[in-house]
Structure formats: structure tokens, C-alpha cells
Chain A
């Protein structure tokens, strides 16, 4: 028998990966959680029929969402990660000895438990002593926090389903309030390529622009995400993502990476014209 995982990336586009077996399947209070092992991509995590990560390409996403802000401000000590139940973002952050505290807020305990058991290479650092896991709605968590974090990373699902609240003006505004005066907000910013994702991308950008003086977008190539062309948002109260980058300082930290480097850092903010046009619609 052939077994394939097929994702409807849009109503008119499908993406399939051959599977060897299903390792985990459960319905939580929030979503359907599945883990398959596949010959090409290793183990893959699927939430509500969307690929969240594969062992083969997760390093791209997790390095780009973590090292870009860390290289802009290596003095970051207190980090809030929202979503990120698989642990990949936390794994990258724990590479910095200078970080003193990582609060991780994930709404779905079952995602954390499943990843600890079945995706140990991704969830490997969730037990680091600096990491504190809160099972809560991210929106609810930031509501009462003020002037506390140097960096907030929003590592969320798409804005349909439990991640919806993390793409709202009330969330970004509350993040602004929760950040220190030189704080940075980095978020999973959807894709510019297919219309449904592009719409969320433009709306998120428009909402973030209301709050932060510096709002930029950068890109990466993630083969298993729809279209492969994926964006991240960089918003900050003070730092410019490329002008304030001290390449030498970051490179002296000798952080081990496979995708991120400081030359790429400067390049990833150079966006294709069609993306710039979409973002300009709101500016």
C-alpha cells in the first residue's frame, strides 16, 4: 500500500509527501495533531492538516526566527516565545549563553508533550533550566505584562484556528507594551505568494505598523511551506535590523548554524519587488 500525506495548500494546489507510517494522532481541545515518518523529510508534524515542521527543513525556519533578532541585539537577556510548542525556536535561543530567561507560552499542552516524545531533536532544549513553559493563550498572557521582555518571538500557526488571536491588533499592541524600550518583536509572517496567505501577510504588516517605529520584513526559503517562499516580521522600538547589525560581534559568539549567517542576514531584508509592492499597499 502506498501512503501519502497530501496538503491542500490552496483550493487549487496540492502538495504530497510519501509516508512510511503514522507515529502519532490525537485531537486536542484546540486542533488535530499528527506526526508521520517520511522517507524524504524525516518525521513531520501536522496540525489541522497543515505541515508545521519537517525534520529536514525545520532548521531554516527556527534559525531565521531566532538568530536575526539575536544578531541585531546580542544583549537580549529576557525572551518571550509565543506558540513554538515543538521547541525548535527555544533550541536555537538556548545557544546564547547571554540569555538569562526564556518564557514560552503555548496554548496546547498536547503539542508540547507529543513533540517531546516523538520529535526529540526539535524539542531537545525544552528542559533547559532557563526555559519556563506556560500553557496559556498568548494573547491572554501578554495582556498584563509591561516593559519586561527584550525580545518577543511569535512562532504561531496560520491565522485560522487557535493562532487567530496572534494576528490581531490587540495582540501586537499588547506585545509593544510588554517589550522594554529597546525591545524587538519577530513574528511568523505568512507568505506573499498565494492569495489567502498574502492577505494575512498584508493585514499583519498593516497592524504592526500602527505600533512600532521600525517595521521590516525578511524572507527565507522553506520547501514544505506553501510556495516555499516565507516571510518573517521584524518590528522594534529602536534597532534597525541591518544598520544596527554588528557582524563581527555575532560571529565571535561562534553560534553553530546551518542556514543563518550574517551575510544572509543583510540579504534577507532585500525583498522581491512584488512583495515590496504588497507591503507598500499599507504604508
Chain B
């Protein structure tokens, strides 16, 4: 880091604004909270007084020239990027900006199928066509892994005209691909590398972490500061490598970004970046130790399997995020989603997600050892009180997609709604996914297979929250009419 990371320009400008007691005849209409006493009582005066609009001393996110520009430079410096954008519509907006910056209608883009829905959403908007690489699957856990280098090589060879490759770093479960090698072969083939680092903020600051996108020369990375970095929900950063035009990416961002960016979100990014740059190393050492302790204690119990770095195999699991507590639950006869529900309903413990065979607990800058003890003890109790035979349980999370047409073509095609059971063999015209984690079971343009239908019915029966379909209860699915 070359710049003085003690600075926090947006935060400092807001403090000054508050002290200057400006009379405002601009939006927002609550005028520092005075117009909405109940909201002010709930959120606090301090918070409402800086919920303000763009103005000369506070800069403008759409076209930054002063404090936001400086804050973005500090962010880029902290992450080792050529440029950084502050993003206020979630990491989904960062992912979409990456895809739309390198692809146009009809362009091919190589990606693993276990991407977040935001990547495929971008394809619906811009009309690019996905080339899916089958991620490796861990048979015992049933989870999708990273892309193997050979699979990426094959995809590049078969689709030399593809414009870019998307890589998850890490996946929701914490699995990392061999990112530096993928960058090398992609660049050799003239393709850009876009990295979804929604769960990878800490890779930039902690010791003994998997490699970060910017450190291996990737072209763009979407970093969810709010997930593990401590900023407010919905705030995110988009990082650029050296061969990407900052001006063009800003134009792409401004196609869909709000012109009234929240200063609560912007200041949270600024302050969190400063904290990570100054203290990140010790913060993530603590977080890694907490998660490591949790994993060790959960594995002592038997039955539940908290998986971590022992999965590393040099390829599809090139590295593993040490701050996650991912636990395989099927061997105690419970689906991950069932454990997730019991933890919340019986033990007042909210974890990140539960799917068919696993749960995921995110450990981050805000956690204490006593909370980890609660999670461990609750899992001990769940095994004692709720475990049953695992016979008849679905054993995989990954369903091989059969892509018939592009997501955009399918989404905007003529379509009709059919009951689930009548959709076998049809082409899906919308998403169907469990949320969280938000990885599509079916995406627009894919053949509806027996595997996919069985998975959807099973996930519903176990209590997963199914989203994406036009029918909010996911009893019917939109299919393409030829």
C-alpha cells in the first residue's frame, strides 16, 4: 500500500458537513431526520443527519472528482487494484457491471454452473451466451467444487471466441480454483478473467489466505465488503486490473446505478476499508482461529463433518477459505436446511444458509468466542435430540445443466406456466433456486430434467425457500413455447 490508509475522505467530509449545520433545501425530504421522528428515534439522530444527497463538498458517485474519487483511490490501493468503484446496489451490481463491461449480445462467456444468479442475470440483460464448465463434484459431500484447469483449457479450446471467464473465489462453501493458472491461460487466449469475490474480501488482508484476484493479475473482481469486511449491507466494491478502461466501466455502471447513492453506504465502505487496511491482518487471524476452533470442536462430536483444508487436492479444490464453518449434515439424517431451521427456531441462532446436505456459518470481524461456543453446543444438542437414519436422503447439490438456448432468448420468449410435474423435458424460461445460496437449480434456456425436478420437490419438502419463478410458490414453472 502506497497511500496513507489512515485517511477516510468521505467519512471526514460527512463529519465536516454535520458540523457546518447547513440549511438544506434539497432532498432527502426528511431533512436530517426532522421530518420523520419515528424513523429518527429508531435509527438514531447521528445516522439520519448524514443521510444526505450528493453536493459539492460530498462529491457525486456517478462522476467522482473529489472525496469519492480519493476514497476510491484509497480502496484501490488497499486491494492492490488499478482502480476501485464504490458500489451501492450490492455485489450483484458489481458482478453485472463486470459481465456487461466485457460482453455484448451474442458474445460467449465461460463460467462454472455454480455461479450466483447475478452472473446469469447479467446475461439476460446483455444477451451474452454462457459456456458452462462442469465444476468438479465431491461425491461424499455432494457439493460442487472449483473448475479444474483442464476443464477450463478444454472450454477455451472449444470456444476460442469466448470473451471472458468468470471464476468464483471462493464458492459459497469456501472452495477456490487455481486462479493464477486460469488467469495465465485465459490471458494467453486473449480472454478477460472476471472474479466473483462476494465471499473473498478477507483474502486481501489476512495471512495464509487463498490468493486474491488482484494479486494474480485478474482483470476485474466483485468484492462484497459487507459480507466479511464489516460495511453496511448492500455496499460493495468493484476492482479493476490494469488493462481495463476505468471510464468505460463507469459508463456501464451508470446505465443501471442509482443517481442518489446513499452516503450511509459510501461512508461504511470508506471506514471499513480503513479498518481493514490498518487492522485486517490481526482481525482475520482472530477470525481464522475462531473458525478453526469451531471446526475442530464440531468434528470431535462425530456424525457432523465440518470440512475445510483437508479437501485441498491441487485442482478442483486448489485452496479453501479458512474463515468458514461449512458442515455436512446428511450423516445424522438431517438436511442442511432442517438443521438451519432448528438452529433458528429452537436455539435462536441464525446461520448463513442450509441446503440439501450442508450448513454454512460465516465467521467474521464481529464474532466472539462465546457465540462460537453456542453454535457448537447447539449442534451437539441437535445431534443428540434430532438425528435419524440418513436412508433415502438426496445426496447431491449439483445438477448438470443442459443448455438449449441463451438465457436472454429464453427469458424473453413466448412462455406459458405449467405445473411442476408437467414440465419434464420442456425448456425453462426463468430461474428456480433456493435462496440462500442463490445458485440456480434451473436457469432460463435449460432443459428441465428429472434430476432438476426431483431436486426442486425434495428441497421444497425439506423447507428450502425457493425463489426465482414468476409463481411465488414455485408450484408452476414458466416454459418456452416453440
Which residues of A are interface residues toward B (Cβ below 8 A)? 137, 139-140, 142-144, 162, 164-165, 168-171, 173-174, 177, 210
Contact B385 A170 (CB under 8 A): no
Closest 3 CB pairs of A and B: A170-B378, A170-B377, A173-B381
Contact A171 B377 (CB under 8 A): yes
Q: A164 contacts which chain B residues (CB < 8 A)?
A: 370
CB distance from A173 to the nearest CB of B (A): 4
**Pick from A137, A144, A165, A170: contact of B381, CB under 8 Å:** A170
Contact A168 B347 (CB under 8 A): yes
Most-contacted residue by chain B among A137, A143, A165, A174 (CB, 10 A) = A143
Contact A143 B370 (CB under 8 A): no
| B152 within 8 Å of A (CB atoms) | no
| B380 within 8 Å of A (CB atoms) | yes
CB distance from A31 to the nearest CB of B (A): 12
Q: Would you give 5 A-B contacts (Cβ < 8 Å), ordered by A?
A: A165-B374, A168-B374, A169-B346, A170-B377, A177-B384
Q: Given that A168-B347, A168-B348, A169-B347 are known contacts, is A174 also in contact with B381, CB under 8 Å in the complex?
A: yes
Contact B370 A170 (CB under 8 A): no
Contact A173 B385 (CB under 8 A): yes
Contact B373 A137 (CB under 8 A): yes
**Pick from B370, B373, B384: contact of A173, CB under 8 Å:** B384
Query: Which residue on B lies nearest to A172, using beta carbons?
Result: B381
CB distance from B378 to the nearest CB of A (A): 4
Q: Mark B360-392, 1 if CB is under 8 A from A, else 0.
A: 000000000110011011101100110000000
Contact B374 A143 (CB under 8 A): no
Q: Mark B277-318, 1 if CB is under 8 A from A, else 0.
A: 000000000000000000000001000000000000000000
Q: B381 contacts which chain A residues (CB < 8 A)?
A: 169-170, 173-174
Q: B384 contacts which chain A residues (CB < 8 A)?
A: 173, 177
Query: Which residue on B lies nearest to A168, using beta carbons?
Result: B374
CB distance from A80 to the nearest CB of B (A): 15
Number of inter-chain CB pairs below 8 Å:
46
Bound-state CA distance A173–B382 (Å) is 10
Contact B373 A140 (CB under 8 A): yes
Contact B370 A174 (CB under 8 A): no
Bound-state CA distance A177–B377 (Å) is 12
Give the interface size bracket for B toward A.
10 to 19
Q: B376 contacts which chain A residues (CB < 8 A)?
A: 140, 143
Q: A174 contacts which chain B residues (CB < 8 A)?
A: 377, 380-381
Which residues of B are interface residues toward A (Cβ below 8 A)? 300, 346-348, 369-370, 373-374, 376-378, 380-381, 384-385
Q: Is the interface of A mostly helix, strand, loop or mixed?
A: helix
**Pick from A142, A143, A170, A177: contact of B347, CB under 8 Å:** A170
Q: A144 contacts which chain B residues (CB < 8 A)?
A: 300
Bound-state CA distance A210–B381 (Å) is 13
Q: B385 contacts which chain A residues (CB < 8 A)?
A: 173
Bound-state CA distance A168–B347 (Å) is 7
Query: Which residue on B lies nearest to A171, using beta carbons?
Result: B377
Query: Which residue on A lies nearest to B381, using beta carbons?
Result: A173
CB distance from A244 to the nearest CB of B (A): 27
Query: Which residue on B lies nearest to A174, using beta carbons?
Result: B377
CB distance from B333 to the nearest CB of A (A): 18
Q: A177 contacts which chain B residues (CB < 8 A)?
A: 384
Most-contacted residue by chain A among B373, B376, B378 (CB, 10 A) = B373
CB distance from A163 to the nearest CB of B (A): 10
Q: B346 contacts which chain A residues (CB < 8 A)?
A: 169, 210
Q: B378 contacts which chain A residues (CB < 8 A)?
A: 168-170
Bound-state CA distance A173–B369 (Å) is 20
Bound-state CA distance A137–B373 (Å) is 8
Beyond A140-B377, A143-B380, A165-B377, 18 additional pairs, beta carbon < 8 A: A137-B370, A140-B373, A143-B376, A143-B377, A144-B300, A162-B370, A168-B347, A168-B374, A168-B377, A169-B346, A170-B347, A170-B374, A170-B378, A170-B381, A171-B377, A173-B381, A173-B384, A174-B380
Q: B369 contacts which chain A residues (CB < 8 A)?
A: 137
Query: Which residue on A lies nearest to B385, using beta carbons?
Result: A173
Most-contacted residue by chain A among B300, B376, B377, B381 (CB, 10 A) = B377
CB distance from A131 to the nearest CB of B (A): 24
CB distance from A108 to the nearest CB of B (A): 12
CB distance from A176 to the nearest CB of B (A): 9
Q: A137 contacts which chain B residues (CB < 8 A)?
A: 369-370, 373
CB distance from B71 to the nearest CB of A (A): 35
Q: B300 contacts which chain A residues (CB < 8 A)?
A: 144
CB distance from A281 to the nearest CB of B (A): 18
Query: Which residue on B lies nearest to A137, using beta carbons?
Result: B373
Q: B348 contacts which chain A residues (CB < 8 A)?
A: 168-169
Query: Which residue on B lies nearest to A164, using beta carbons?
Result: B370
Most-contacted residue by chain B among A140, A162, A210 (CB, 10 A) = A140
Q: A165 contacts which chain B residues (CB < 8 A)?
A: 370, 373-374, 377
Contact A139 B373 (CB under 8 A): yes
Query: Which residue on B lies nearest to A140, using beta carbons?
Result: B373
Bound-state CA distance A168–B380 (Å) is 13
CB distance from A205 to the nearest CB of B (A): 15
Query: Which residue on A lies nearest to B376, using beta carbons?
Result: A143
Bound-state CA distance A143–B347 (Å) is 15
CB distance from B17 to the nearest CB of A (A): 32
Bound-state CA distance A164–B385 (Å) is 22
Bound-state CA distance A162–B374 (Å) is 12
Query: Which residue on A lies nearest to B375, using beta carbons?
Result: A170
Q: A142 contacts which chain B residues (CB < 8 A)?
A: 377
Bound-state CA distance A142–B380 (Å) is 11
CB distance from B341 to the nearest CB of A (A): 14
Q: A168 contacts which chain B residues (CB < 8 A)?
A: 347-348, 374, 377-378
Q: A170 contacts which chain B residues (CB < 8 A)?
A: 347, 374, 377-378, 380-381
Bound-state CA distance A16–B36 (Å) is 38
Q: A162 contacts which chain B residues (CB < 8 A)?
A: 370
Query: Which residue on A lies nearest to B349, using beta carbons?
Result: A170
Most-contacted residue by chain A among B347, B376, B381 (CB, 10 A) = B381
Q: B377 contacts which chain A residues (CB < 8 A)?
A: 139-140, 142-143, 165, 168, 170-171, 174
